[in-house]
Chain A
Amino acid sequence: MFNIEIDGQQVEVEQGQMIIEAADAAGIAIPRFCYHKKLSIAANCRMCLVEVEKARKPMPACATPVTEGMRVFTKTPAAIHSQRTVMEFLLINHPLDCPICDQGGQCELQDISMSYGEGVSEYTQGKRSVDGDDLGSLVATDMTRCIHCTRCIRFCEEVAGIKELGATNRGEHMEVGTYVDHALESEVSGNIIDLCPVGALTSKPFRYQARAWELQQMPSVASHDCVGANTFVHTRRQEVMRVVPRECEDVNEVWLSDRDRFSYTGLESEERLAKPLVKQDGQWQEATWADALNAVKEGLQRVKDKHGASQIAALSHPSSTTEEHYLLQKLMRGIGCHNLDHRLNRVDFSDQDQFGLYPRIGTPVAKIDELNAILLVGSNIRHEQPSIGLRVRKAALSGAHVMMVNPMAYEFHMPMSESVVVKPSEMVSALAQVAKAASELASGEVPAAAAKLLSGVSYSEAHKTIAKKLADAEQATIMMGALAQNHAHAANIRALCNLIAEFTGSSCGALTEGANAQGAWLVGMLPHRAMAGADAMVPGLDAQTCFAEKLRAYVLHGIEPEADVANSQVALDALKQADFVVSTTVFVTDAMKEYADVILPVAPATETSGTFINVEGRWQGFRGARPAFEEGRPAWKVFRVLGNLFALEGFDFESSEQVLTEVHAKVKQLEGKVHAWVAPERLPASHEKGLEVIAERALYQTDAIVRRAAPLASSKANPEFGVHVSVQTAQSAGVESCEQVEVKAGEHRVSLPLVLDERVPTGAVWLPSGYAESAVLTSHATVTLAKG
């Protein structure tokens, strides 16, 4: 630490800092285009020139390190002269088409040329123009406006990890683009819109929709993954116009995934539900809220009176707010129903009593960057949790060993230290092998149960490497992804991961699905747990059993079973035969109209207040950015009124804050239990017949809103739709030359496009879940392929 002087002000700096960083920290403005605190230094725009005492020439503040006793001047005649001339240079080829440019009003070039430029230019020659590439459905290009700062190029290469953009040709002919007109494949591509200091890269869905000064900004929290990226929702006349990142160093830094950025477009879907619907004599009628809520009360009461409340189940989407999860379970438990769950994609619940307060990541999100070793188990991290993916990549680039045990040879655009890729059925044994190797490295005594479990397991070099790298690392973590948690033997996988963690001194945790699985666990939206980890007084049925048992009534909150539930066909069958089904939802579907009796429009996260608890246990509250659409209501209000209709006590909330206060108070009273590791009895043998199914929730199929976002649906980041197999698998099934194949699972036959994909292990097929077309297949363990 030492002092330098900037514009006469003493500024404390650290060795190695650049002048611009010191100035930023001290609140002294230096204009810049190419410099960005999260990107490498390019120093190519020269906008940041300042005068430094004793230097012969003006110095670029972004690339000049501070030195003891340095005196910097940003506003002397020499500095101003430099700024003016650079500005004039930068505008030589810029079209100055601000009136028709989407960036107008929020443009760094516009602002800086107003404050630092001169009104006239000596350049009178013609300007060049550039045909921009078509970068796909998310980012619009007007490359004539590009000032070649290369922020976008550096972002793709350094942060996103896919070098998709480049600067081709040179001098006056230099162009920024893909050169071959290819749509961006990155799952975080939208960040280049924010980074571009001019109007060269703008949001395609937002194009020509609004001017920046017409927008109102509301802080919010993204609702599509377990990180809860901080956002601003921009509205105009109470309409959501776009979503942009809100800087939060501990959560999403300055980035936002495309899913969180563009999913708002799904809210404009034609399936958006405007009014409550009630089915009367087989006919759907619009109803008033009072009538619709009465119909719900009567329907549930009827089933309860006739069959008992144990014939009712309530399921809520894990992306619902904590307040909603809380009130729904309070309502249902109040009327005697204990079949509650939000774990829609899980199939193995055998270890549910061994969970702590809620499943969580083994290390705070902000600390991922500092880890020395990371083992990903059953996770396509980039698609599943884009923000965590960026952090893991950052760790990898600073030397962490990133490793995986996965059923697919995913390409993560980062150096991988070791990969074990096995068929789903072999995941357990692969982890047992790592555990065995780890047990031999462990310093302490191996617990008898573990030793017994692992006796007879032999391992190979790869397993040993993983164990060793975890053990050697100062800070290591194991992250279980969706493919681990939704595995048929999820409990075994979890037990083994915990065991490996114990042997290697690592932490271990899960990347949960939805935005608020933690909230659901905490408030007891579970069959076996009530508030804050307390055991449920009366245990209920888990999500899959609720459907398998074919109960008489269902309450669905934010769920489209055909896409959101693991055994979707079983779920649909159960719903169709039920006597009464109520769905609280943002959209209405044809399927819903078939099985439901009452459909209630509720507000999505942009239209209601609430709280998400993220995967590290961070409570993030937000308010609605606009009132609910048409007659939609916040779901917490719906559950509150239902509580009143059932004459239940403790349903007098006036606001969601009051609900939250009650949750807080109850959580404080109770302590989450710590559960010791329990060894599984034995490990499952792997002998599956047919081709094993790897059903991965597709990138843009996470929930009802994302699924309807048209720009996301046509993004090239989507996995290619179809059944993915390796060439070898295709050959042995005799389908290598087919375009369309018939996939058989039990009595189901579905015709799907064949995609040859070397990432899939031989003997397995990869299927995207969340699509209606493949829904019946993804819940099966095995399938066969035939020419179709």
Chain B
Amino acid sequence: MSATCEETVKLSDNVRKEIDDWLTRFPPEQKRSATLYALRMVQEENGWVSKPHMNAIAEYLEIAPVAVYEVATFYTMYDLEPKGKHKIGVCTNVSCQLCGSDKIVEHIKNKYQVGLNEVTKDGKYFFQEVECLGSCCGAPVVIVDDKHYKEKLTPEGLEKVLQELEG
């Protein structure tokens, strides 16, 4: 098609490599199957997934952009807006609640002056409410940057985790 002047981005070599790797697991005419992973790669690298990134994924996988939008908006764990430097997911489901996740939530409200699903004013942290992380034995659980589980946390424990992030 003819050139347009919309904002475009290129997928990094790293992301491409990862996608290529995933593509080997699907039939060649089913490139669409790699959409979930492609979005995850971009989010890991970039912190969130922008529209130009989604378009780049569509182009790379040779599918319609709207097919990527559909997937990205369906799953709530993709962040489609910038969400602060670090993402702190606090589980508020039954086990964690019984073991004191409400104290952690309270602490966040008092110390950082934000509610859940909000970004701190300095843009450093995005505190997110998440559903059961499947690690109830370690309740209350917090997940840092979608990856690292911190278990049996107290407000003080959370502070320590955040300090480590700084370090």
Q: Which of A165, A179, A756, A759 gathers the greatest number of chain B CB atoms within 10 Å?
A: A179
Q: How far is the CA of A208 from the CA of B64 in the complex (A)?
A: 33
A166 with B70: in contact, given A411-B1, A756-B3 (CB under 8 Å)? yes
CB <8 Å contact, B64 and A164: yes
- Known pairs A411-B1, A720-B2, A757-B2; A169 contacts B66 (CB<8 A): no
Question: Chain A contacts of B64 at CB under 8 A?
Answer: 157, 162-164, 166
Tell me, yes or no, whether A755 is within 8 Å of chain B by CB: yes
Could you say which of A165, A168, A724, A755 contacts B74, with CB atoms under 8 Å apart?
A168
CB neighbours (8 Å) of B70 from chain A are 166-168, 179
Flag if A163 contacts B67 (CB, 8 Å): yes
Interface presence of B22 (CB below 8 A): no
B69 within 8 A of A: yes
Does B65 belong to the interface (CB within 8 Å)?
A: yes
Distance in angstroms from B120 CB to nearest chain A CB is 26
A166–B3 contact, CB under 8 A?
no
Contacts A163-B64, A164-B64, A178-B66; A724 near B73 (Cβ below 8 A):
no
Cβ contact within 8 Å between B73 and A180: no
A168 touches B69 (CB 8 A): yes
User: Cβ of A169 and Cβ of B51 under 8 Å apart?
Assistant: no
Docked pose: A164 CA to B65 CA in angstroms: 8
Q: Does A675 touch B at the CB level, under 8 Å?
A: no
CB pair B51 A180 closer than 8 Å:
yes
Query: Within 8 Å of chain B (Cβ to Cβ): is A170?
Result: yes
Q: Are B74 and A169 in touch, CB under 8 angstroms? A: yes
CA distance A757 to B74 in the complex (A): 34
Tell me whether B2 and A755 are in contact (CB under 8 A).
yes
**A454 CB, nearest partner CB in chain B, Å:** 37
Nearest CB of chain A from residue B59's CB, rounded to whole Å: 14
> Shortest CB–CB separation between residue A731 and chain B, in angstroms?
14
Instruction: Map CB proximity to B onto A297-339 as digits: 1 under 8 Å, 0 otherwise.
Output: 0000000000000000000000000000000000000000000
Residues on A with C-beta less than 8 A from B66 are 163-166, 168, 178-180
Please tell me if the beta carbons of B2 and A180 are within 8 angstroms of each other in the complex: no
Residues of B within 8 A of A169 (CB): 73-74
B60, chain A: closest CB distance, angstroms: 16
Among B1, B3, B67, B73, find the residue whose CB has the most chain A CB atoms closer than 10 A: B73
Bound complex: CA A685 to CA B27 (Å): 46
- Out of B1, B2, B63, B73, which one reaches A179, CB within 8 Å? B73
CB distance from A365 to the nearest CB of B (A): 28
Q: Do the beta carbons of A180 and B74 come within 8 Å of each other?
A: no
Docked CA distance A179–B51 (Å): 10
> Within residues 84 to 127 of chain A, which ones have a CB less than 8 A from any CB in chain B?
none
> Which of B1, B66, B70 gathers most chain A CB within 10 Å?
B66
Quick check: B2 and A166 within 8 Å, CB to CB?
Answer: no
Residues of chain A from 63 to 82 with CB closer than 8 A to chain B in the complex: none
Which residues of A have CB within 8 Å of B73? 168-170, 179
- In the assembled complex, the Cα of A157 lies from the Cα of B67 at a distance in Å of 10
Cβ proximity bits B92-136 to A, threshold 8 Å, 1 near / 0 not: 000000000000000000000000000000000000000000000
In the complex, chain A residues whose CB is within 8 Å of the CB of B63: 163
How many Å lie between the Cα of A164 and that of B70 in the bound state? Answer: 11
Query: B81 to chain A: closest CB distance in Å?
Result: 14
What residues on A are CB-neighbors of B65 within 8 Å? Answer: 180
Please name all residues of chain A whose beta carbon is closer than 8 Å to the beta carbon of B67 when the two chains form the complex. Answer: 163, 166
In the complex, A157→B51 CA distance in Å? 21
* Bound: A165/B69 CA distance, A: 10
- Complex CA gap A224/B2 in Å reads 27
* Cα A756 to Cα B70 with chains together (Å): 30
Q: Is the CB of A170 within 8 A of B74?
A: yes
- Shortest CB distance B77–A (Å): 12
Contacts of B1 in A (CB 8 A): 411, 757, 759
Closest residue on chain B to residue A178 by CB atoms: B66
Given the known A-B contacts A164-B64, A169-B74, are A180 and B69 also in contact in the complex, defined by CB atoms under 8 Å? yes
Give, as a whole number of angstroms, the nearest-CB distance from B9 to chain A. 15
**With A162-B64, A163-B64, A164-B64 as given contacts, are A179 and B3 in contact (CB-CB < 8 Å)?**
no
Cβ of B3: which chain A residues have Cβ within 8 Å of it?
755-757
Taken residue by residue from 66 to 100, chain B's Cβ proximity to chain A (1 for < 8 Å, 0 otherwise) reads as: 11011001100000000000000000000000000
Residues of B within 8 A of A724 (CB): 2
Q: Give A37 to B2 CA distance when docked, in angstroms.
A: 35
Contact digits for A754-766, partner B, Cβ 8 Å, 1 yes 0 no: 0111010000000
Q: Which of A741-771 contact B (CB under 8 A)?
A: 755-757, 759
Chain B residues near A167 (CB-CB < 8 A) = 70
Determine the chain B residues whose CB is within 8 A of the CB of A720 once the complex forms: 2
> How far does the alpha carbon of A162 sit from the alpha carbon of B1 in the complex, in Å?
13
Tell me the residues in window 167-199 of chain A with beta carbons closer than 8 Å to chain B beta carbons. 167-170, 178-180
B74 contacts A179, C-beta separation under 8 Å: no
Residues of B close to A759: CB separation below 8 A: 1
0/1 string, B14-54, CB within 8 A of A gives 1: 00000000000000000000000000000000000001000
Q: How far is the CA of A162 from the CA of B58 in the complex (A)?
A: 13
Question: Which A residues, 390 to 422, have Cβ-Cβ distances below 8 Å to chain B?
Answer: 411
- Please name all residues of chain B whose beta carbon is closer than 8 Å to the beta carbon of A755 when the two chains form the complex: 2-3
Q: Would you give the shortest CB distance from A399 to chain B, in whole angstroms?
A: 13
Q: How far is the CA of A170 from the CA of B73 in the complex (A)?
A: 7
CA distance A166 to B64 in the complex (A): 10
Nearest chain A CB to B35's CB is how many angstroms away?
A: 12
CB of A417, distance to nearest CB on chain B (Å): 14
Chain B residues with Cβ below 8 Å from A757 are 1-3
- With CB as the reference atom, state the residue of chain A lying closest to B3: A756
A178 to chain B, nearest CB (A): 6
Q: Which residue on B lies nearest to A727, using beta carbons?
A: B3
Task: List the B side residues contacting A168 at CB < 8 Å.
Answer: 66, 69-70, 73-74
Minimum CB–CB distance for A148 against chain B, Å: 13
Q: In the complex, what distance in Å separates the CA atom of A164 from the CA atom of B74?
A: 17
Q: How far is the CA of A411 from the CA of B69 in the complex (A)?
A: 23
Residues of A within 8 A of B51 (CB): 180
> Which residues of B lie under 8 Å from residue A162 when comparing CB positions?
64
Q: Which of A433-449 contact B (CB under 8 A)?
A: none
Q: In the complex, what residues of A have CB within 8 A of residue B74's CB?
A: 168-170
Question: By CB atoms of chain B within 10 A, which of A164, A166, A755, A759 has the most?
Answer: A166
* Cα(A512)–Cα(B63), bound, Å: 33
**What's the least CB distance linking B70 to chain A, in Å?**
4
Kindly provide the distance from the CB of A460 to the nearest chain B CB, expressed in whole angstroms: 25
Q: Which residue of A lies closest to B1 (CB)?
A: A411
A183 to B31, CA, bound (A): 26
Cα–Cα, bound, A656→B1 (Å): 47
CA distance A169 to B71 in the complex (A): 8
Contact of B69 among A157, A166, A170, A756 (CB under 8 A): A166
CA A178 to CA B54, docked complex, whole Å: 13
* Residue of chain A at shortest CB distance from B55: A180
- A170 contacts across to B, CB distance below 8 A: 73-74
Q: How far is the CB of B141 from chain A (nearest CB, A)?
A: 25
| Assembled-state Cα–Cα distance A759/B2 (Å) | 8
A169 to B74, CA, bound (A): 5
Q: Tell me, in angstroms, the Cα distance from A757 to B4 when the chains sit together.
A: 10
Cα-based distance from A115 to B106 in the complex (angstroms): 54
A304 to chain B, nearest CB (A): 51
User: A177 — nearest CB in chain B belongs to which residue?
Assistant: B66
How many Å lie between the Cα of A676 and that of B45 in the bound state?
67
Instruction: List chain B residues, Cβ under 8 A from A411.
Output: 1
* Nearest CB of chain B from residue A485's CB, rounded to whole Å: 26
What would be 13 A-B contacts, judged by CB atoms less than 8 Å apart? Answer: A163-B64, A166-B70, A167-B70, A169-B74, A170-B74, A179-B66, A179-B70, A179-B73, A180-B65, A180-B66, A180-B69, A756-B2, A757-B2
Q: Point out residues on A near B: beta carbons under 8 Å.
A: 157, 162-170, 178-180, 411, 720, 724, 755-757, 759
Beyond A166-B66, A170-B74, 17 additional contacts (C-beta under 8 Å) are: A157-B64, A164-B66, A166-B64, A166-B69, A167-B70, A168-B69, A168-B70, A169-B73, A170-B73, A179-B66, A179-B73, A180-B51, A180-B66, A724-B2, A755-B2, A755-B3, A759-B1
Which 5 A-B residue pairs are closest in the complex by CB-CB distance?
Answer: A163-B64, A166-B66, A168-B73, A179-B69, A166-B70
